[in-house]
Structure 1
């Protein structure tokens, strides 16, 4: 698994299981275990920084098990090899996305001019609404 090494995850942390795929496909689907279930143990991946692992946990969502294992199922293709490559690529994309540091938002305050523009707009709107009022002289 050369791709596992490129991802920075030891081979021991990745487990591949070949299972029968569901859905259409007839006899081929019924007798060939072409679908792949990739399991990546985050605890067994000390090479990933803790911040990246935390973001991975968030990105994984429902695919994360209680014992910190990401499960990716791939069954788009008819062959084991294609599905295996697909699962590893999807894991790679997830790790690449987790490695991107989110930018910290710097709180800002509205400028004096923008406050004045806002208030002017409110004043104009108020004037428009006042012209709609029906005056009763009782």
Structure 2
């Protein structure tokens, strides 16, 4: 029996997702770097690179679990006859979801702790396909926001210099105020008898 190596499985997943992509995008979802936290500059740079690649792609339908039901509320007889409500479920332990984004995803209102998945529902449109696209775009935006929130931006040299100058000026101002108050208090003292 031949076992699959991790790289082979990852490549298979990318090919599978590429073939089953929606809305004309046939590029696979890039697998994120296996980083649980972003501590070094190199880790942050690789996370930014993954986010920029992911931002340009759509999430394929095959990468998530979709279910459909009848919508509630106003809408005439179409509401009672057609399953237009789309419910998307995506387990957060999928390979294409970054490890560093998982704590932020768990704080999301879309997170369901009993199934450890993201659940997004759309009933905005009268069409099932439009509701599917709405759910997928919400998931895409949520993943970009969650993965970007862990990235700390380093200040530029100009910003660092400006902060140092402001701290130096504040310290000088504080010292000047203290010496001024000290001279006022000294002037109040009586001369010794």
TM bin, normalised by shorter chain, reads: 0.5 to 0.7
Q: RMSD of the TM alignment (CA)?
A: 3.4
1:112 CA drift (Å): 3.5
Indicate how the Cα distance of structure 1 residues 76 and 119 shifts in structure 2: closer, same or farther if over 3 A, else same: farther
Corresponding residue pairs, total: 121
List per-residue Cα deviations over 1:109-133 (Å, max 9, x = no partner). Answer: 8613224546878xxxxxxxxxxxx
Instruction: State the match for 2:129 in structure 1.
Output: 81
Query: Are the equivalent residues in 2 in contact too, given 1:74–1:87 (CA < 8 A)?
Result: yes
Choose 16-25 or 92-101, whichever is displaced more.
Answer: 92-101
List per-residue Cα deviations over 1:26-65 (Å, max 9, x = no partner). Answer: 111122110100000112x12333112233223xx23211
Indicate how the Cα distance of structure 1 residues 88 and 7 shifts in structure 2: closer, same or farther if over 3 A, else same: farther
Query: Are the equivalent residues in 1 in contact too, given 2:86–2:132 (CA < 8 A)?
Result: yes
Query: Are the equivalent residues in 2 in contact too, given 1:13–1:41 (CA < 8 A)?
Result: no
**Secondary structure at 1:62 match in 2:** coil
Matched, 1:64 2:102: no
Matched, 1:32 2:82: yes
Instruction: State the match for 2:146 in structure 1.
Output: 98
Structure 2 CA distance, aligned partners of 1:89 and 1:16? 14
The equivalences for 1:116-131 within 5 A come to 116-117=172-173
Structure 2 CA distance, aligned partners of 1:37 and 1:12? 14
Instruction: State the match for 1:49 in structure 2.
Output: 98
**Secondary structure at 2:72 match in 1:** coil
Query: Are the equivalent residues in 2 in contact too, given 1:13–1:42 (CA < 8 A)?
Result: no
Structure possessing the higher relative contact order (Cα contacts under 8 Å, 6 or more residues apart): 1
Indicate how the Cα distance of structure 1 residues 10 and 77 shifts in structure 2: closer, same or farther if over 3 A, else same: closer
Structure 2 CA distance, aligned partners of 1:10 and 1:86? 13
Q: With structure 2 as the length reference, what TM-score do the two structures score?
A: 0.50
Q: Which runs of 5+ in 2 are unaligned?
A: 1-19, 31-58, 156-162, 178-193
Q: With structure 1 as the length reference, what TM-score do the two structures score?
A: 0.67
1:6 CA drift (Å): 4.5
Instruction: State the match for 1:114 in structure 2.
Output: 170
